[in-house]
Amino acid sequence: MHFLVDEDLPRSTVAALRQAGYAADDVRDVGLRGRPDRDIYAYARSHGLVIVSADKDFSNGLHYPLGDHAGIVVLRIPDELPSRALNQEPLRALAVLHPEDFAGALVIVEPGRVRIRRASARA
């Protein structure tokens, strides 16, 4: 599992993920600084990356359909939380989730809570 961290999160988020043993890149380091969400999504989708962002727009299933990507993690963390505390929330979520939990899903991480939204099964 490889993460693509959006620029609305501190650079230390990538460092925290890497230190915990995960592969992670920052959008600023792959030429996506200031690019629209749809460009970040397209890049992540074409490279099989899980997006990590605080941007609630990524939870819009009309623009980013469930089941159509490697996964999207939206962090809903209070702005006043220091970076170190903010970076602990995705790590806590990763400790209780499995790689298959991310595939095509929207994972919403809040302090002390993780919700997963998946595409509905079709007959």
Residue % of the chain over a pLDDT of 70: 98
The pLDDT of residue 81 is 85
DSSP structure string for 16-32: HHHHTT-EEEEGGGTT-
- The answer on pLDDT for 122 being more than 60 is no
Annotated domain spans of the chain = 2-117
Per-residue pLDDT band at 121 (split at 50, 70, 90): low
Question: Would you state the pLDDT for residue 80?
Answer: 86
Give, in order, the Cα–Cα distances in Å from 40 to each of 19, 24, 52, 111, 118. Answer: 24, 14, 11, 25, 20
* CB-based burial label for 13 (10 Å; 0-12, 13-18, 19+): buried
Question: With 90 as the cut, is the pLDDT of residue 123 above it?
Answer: no
Tens-place pLDDT, residues 14-62:
999 999 999 999 999 999 999 999 999 999 999 999 999 999 999 999 9
Q: Is the pLDDT of residue 86 over 70?
A: yes
**Can you read off the two tokens belonging to residue 59?**
């939870």
**66 pLDDT above the threshold of 60:** yes
- Tokens standing for 16? 């925290």
- The pTM score is 0.93
